[in-house]
Structure 1
Amino acid sequence: MKITPAQPEDVSKLLAFREEAAAWLSRLGTDQWQRPYPAENLLATVEAGTVFMLMDGDATAATITLTPQAEPGLWTEQELSEPSLFVNKLTVARTHAGQNLGRRLLDWAGGRGYRAGAKWIRLDAWTTNTALQMYYLRLGFEHVRTVIEGEAVNGGPRVSGWLCQRPTRPAEHGFVDGTPEPSTVVH
């Protein structure tokens, strides 16, 4: 399997991929990702070079967004002063579930962060999805805090405020990395 940067022509595929994940999450009893994600927001992140796709031949097996920018209102000024990369929208296709692709993509992200000079790989998870939170803890992430007050950018209540982090480090992920070398993270 090969990790490649997403391209603008991949946006419709990525949106369908997210809809598949939202339907699966709904069947699990969580309301995570039930609101459609705006195509223009996804296109902007693709054009910024922060969206990556894990390809299994012609099939998209998983996707991850890795950015030096944090979602506003989640991390403290002190935390934001530490060089970090932030994981968003990690999704594995149901056809590829059970292959540890999520763990391996997080290892890839941690290695990419390490090469970019980041101290931390950080993410925020759905506050009510305890199974997902436990997953990240099993993978060596440390819970930082849960942000429950405040409003999300779109005016709704904050729903993705369970914050965790783990140090970046070189790691064997087993993928062919078809991405350019990361830019240095500066804070």
Structure 2
Amino acid sequence: MKIIFASPDDVAKLLAFREEAAAWLTRLGSDQWQRPYPADRLLATIESGSVFMVMDGDATAATITLAPDAEEGLWTEQELSQPSSFVTKLTVSRTHAGQNIGGRLLDWAGDRAYRNGAEWLRLDAWTTNEALQRYYLRQGFQHMRTVREGGAVNGGPRVSGWLAQRPAGPANPGFEDATGLPSLA
């Protein structure tokens, strides 16, 4: 499997990918990702070079967004002063579920963050998705706190405010990395 940068041509594919994940989450009883994600926001994130895809031949097996900046209002000023990379929108195709692609992708993100000078790999998860929170804890993340207020709509409740982090560090997740980041060796 190979990791590549997403391109503007991938917007429709990634939006459909997210809809597939939202339908699966609904079947599990979660309200996560029920609102459609704005295509223009996705395009801007892709154009910033923060969206990556795991390809299995011609099939998209997974996607992750890894950015140097956090969503506003989640992390403290002290935390933001520590070099960090932030994971969002980690999604694995149902056709590739059960192969530890998500765990390997988190290792890849931690390695990439480390090579870019970050001390921490951080994320925010859906506040009500306890299964997802347990997954991240099993992947070595430590829960920091849950931010419940200050959502994007009128400062109301925040739906994705479960904050966790783990140290960034070298890893070999076993993907072919076609993004051009030099190796540590």
TM-score (norm: length of structure 1):
0.95
Query: What do the CA deviations read for 1:61-107 (whole angstroms, capped 9, x no partner)?
Result: 00000000100000000000000000000000000000000000000
Q: Which residue is 2:14 aligned to?
A: 14
Q: Which residue is 1:106 aligned to?
A: 106
Q: Once the 2 structures are TM-superposed, how far is the Cα of residue 180 of structure 1 from its aligned partner?
A: 2.5
Secondary structure of the 1:89 match is strand
Secondary structure of the 2:31 match is coil
Is residue 144 of structure 1 aligned with residue 138 of structure 2? no
Letter in 1 for 2:178: G
Distance 1:172 1:26 in 2: 33
Stretches of structure 1 lacking an aligned partner (at least 5 in a row): 183-187
Distance 1:73 1:135 in 2: 24
Q: Which residue is 2:152 aligned to?
A: 153
How many pairs does the alignment contain? 181
Secondary structure of the 2:13 match is helix
Q: What is the aligned-residue identity percentage? A: 75
Q: Once the 2 structures are TM-superposed, how far is the Cα of residue 149 of structure 1 from its aligned partner?
A: 1.9
TM-score (norm: length of structure 2):
0.96
Distance 2:122 2:45 in 1: 17
Taking the TM superposition and a 5 Å limit, the aligned residue runs for 1:13-52 are 13-52=13-52
Stretches of structure 2 lacking an aligned partner (at least 5 in a row): none
Q: Which residue is 2:121 aligned to?
A: 121
CA RMSD of aligned residues (A): 0.9
Q: Which residue is 2:61 aligned to?
A: 61
Distance 1:125 1:153 in 2: 15
Distance 2:45 2:128 in 1: 26
